[in-house]
Structure 1
Amino acid sequence: MYNLIRRALFTLSPETSHDLSLDGLGALQRLGVLGAFSKKPEGRRTRLWGIDFENPVGLAAGLDKNADYLDALGTLGFGFVEVGTVTPRPQPGNPHPRLFRLPEHQAIINRMGFNNKGVDYLVERVKRSQYRGVIGINIGKNKDTPEDDALSDYLTCLDKVYAHADYVVVNVSSPNTPGLRNLQFGEALTRLLAGLKERQHRLTVIHGFKPLLIKIAPDMTSEEVQSVARALAESGIDGVVATNTTLEREAVAGHPHAEESGGLSGAPLLESSTRVLRQLREILPAQVPIIGVGGICSAADARKKWDAGADLVQIYSGFIYQGPGLVRDCVQASLSRAE
């Protein structure tokens, strides 16, 4: 059935079909019939940071930026759902067109630019949600906030989402906000992590412990990955999401959309994101969990992430191309891995 739905949706522009798909899921959920189309898979329960994950397969940030569809997405079998990226103030994102399909490669290029309704809106949506699974909230900075003031934006978001998230992800790796990736390196990273960890300690006194993770890019040399990993370990960060989208285009060279600016996700990202994940696992302390994301389009791809050292995995582009069946396949793979 999903193949038929996808075929119809793919006749529309990518952003239009994205919006219609989410609206449709939301409508089915409100009518109470969405569960009939998606059986919840039996998964391998995983406990990390004191949190019980019903299964280790989650939805990556970016699909539901404002937590408008949290209840609907929570019925599709995910062990956890990550919403955002959200910024302190609402912003429209980049001009259209900003989303491109590369179906021959099971890939997507996006330059959305953190389009969202602002952190206050997202928090209200999370508070109203009936979803009782694990919720991650992904935070970023506004486009017009200077790099030197980025910490202020992240602290604003952290203060507002902390009580309502099971974990918080700091996004410093989107390629679609100018200068954002500079925050992954050197003194900028050290300063950002120190400020966030200090605020986390203060919020823990009030709301209890919530793990703080950082999401990094795949477009780094081995030396850069090692440097970033050491900085993360020294900061006491609670976990890492590896990775965001890539700027590389070699795997899709010759495609009509190959030269569109933005981040490439989907199958072509699998190898580079898994390479970074493997390197992180070799350097980071064993007690620092890693969420593996990037290029998972099959159960075999999920196994590659776990084999490389991931504790949890997330899907996004593969979900667009494969539908809820991919969630079930990956959850089943987690069971066979545990046997």
Structure 2
Amino acid sequence: MNTAWLPTRPGLAGGIDNDGSRAAELLAAGFGSVEFGTVTPRPEPGANPGANPGVVALAARLRALPPRAQGAARVGIGIGMGGDAAPETLAAEWCCGYQTACEVADYLSFNLSARRYQALLTPAHWPLLLQAFDAVTHERQQHTAVGGQYLPLALKLPLGPAGGFPLALAQAAAAAGFDAVTAVLPASSERLDRLRLLRAQLQGQAAIVAVGGIRSAGDVRAALAAGANAVQVHSVFAQQGAACLPDLLHLDLQA
């Protein structure tokens, strides 16, 4: 398991900036990584401007940023499937996202955690999910074979309060070649127990990034102790902005 690409500082999870309009601000805030999106191959206009401009528009805006200094926050892009796309097109949708985002991102996160994707998280869709995992890792293999940069891949999925399906799905992604599982922790007292189960299931095959309910340095330490290799935050930043960082970064870790 290679964790060298993971930041030691907490990262900012997807969902804060889908169109890259806040990229300069967020990348300078002090996070170890910033994940943009989730975006889909085609734009999906919403109630708010830039709700989902599509991966092409997001990649173009990120590409226009000034060069980042060494040690700057890593850039992640969350890739999803279009709302009108059939489940059978999951692999094609993900590969399209990879092809567009691979030159501007430091890692890609393939999102199965959003509510719109919950219907895919059933045993009936197991073959489609495995196909998508293999398709994306094959896309990366082809990209690197012609001189492209190796791009770490993460699968983002809800860890759930119970049940073995998310754990088996995480293991399948790791077996296919995904580098990390971004585990959305349940809002329950068993959340860290689920994280420990995921660590046992993966057996070091892939890194674990924990997100959900992490609001302080104490929460960061608890997640790392339970098996996470890195953490992301979302709600605390949405509520407090950069004011949340001093407590989050109050850790005995090297940046």
Q: 1:201 aligns to what SS in structure 2?
A: helix
Q: Please report how far the alpha carbon of residue 326 of structure 1 lies from its aligned counterpart in structure 2 after TM superposition.
A: 2.3
Tell me the alpha carbon deviations over residues 229-264 of structure 1, each in whole angstroms, 9 at most, x when there is no partner: 3323322221110117x6xxxxxxxxxxxxxxxxxx
Displacement of 1:317: 0.3
Q: Percent identity?
A: 30
Aligned to 1:309: 227
What is aligned with 1:232?
Answer: 173
Residue equivalent to 1:138: 78
In angstroms, what is the RMSD of aligned CA positions? 2.6
Q: 1:81 to 1:225 in 2, by over 3 A?
A: same
1:79 to 32, 39, 46: 32
Structure-2-length-normalised TM-score: 0.87
The Cα shift of 1:184 comes to 9.9
Residue 243 of structure 1 is matched in structure 2 by 184
1:158 corresponds to: 98
Aligned length: 248
How much does 1:136 deviate? 0.7
Q: Once superposed, which parts of structure 1, at least 4 consecutive aligned residues long, lie more than 6 Å away?
A: none
TM-score (norm 1): 0.66
Q: Work out the CA distance in 2 between the residues paired with 1:159 and 1:273.
A: 35
Gaps of 5+ in 2: none
Q: Which amino acid aligns with 1:67?
A: G
In 2, Cα distance between equivalents of 1:290 and 1:71: 27
SS at 1:165 equivalent: coil
User: What secondary structure does 1:143 align onto?
Assistant: coil
Identify which of 59, 62, 68 aligns with 1:123.
59
Q: Is 1:216 matched with 2:134?
A: no
Q: Which has the higher helix share?
A: 1
Matches within 5 A, 1:25-64: 49-51=3-5, 53=7, 55-64=8-17
Deviation at 1:301, TM superposition (A): 1.3
Write the deviation string for residues 30-50 of structure 1: whole angstroms up to 9, x where unpaired: xxxxxxxxxxxxxxxxxx554
| CA shift digits 1:293-322 (9 cap, x unpaired) | 001122211111111111111111011233
Kept in 2: contact 1:291–1:314 (CA 8 A): yes
The structure having more radius of gyration, on CA atoms, is 1
Deviation (angstroms), 1:270: 6.3
Residues 143-152 or 184-193, more deviating: 184-193
Structure 1 partner of 2:115: 175
Q: 1:131 to 1:84 in 2, by over 3 A?
A: farther
Q: 1:272 to 1:175 in 2, by over 3 A?
A: farther
CA contact (8 A) 2:155 2:181 kept: yes
Instruction: Give me the whole-angstrom Cα distance separating, in 2, the residues matched to 1:183 and 1:87.
Output: 24
Deviations 1:209-246 (A, max 9, x none): 111110011336342233223323322221110117x6
One-letter code of the match for 1:332? H
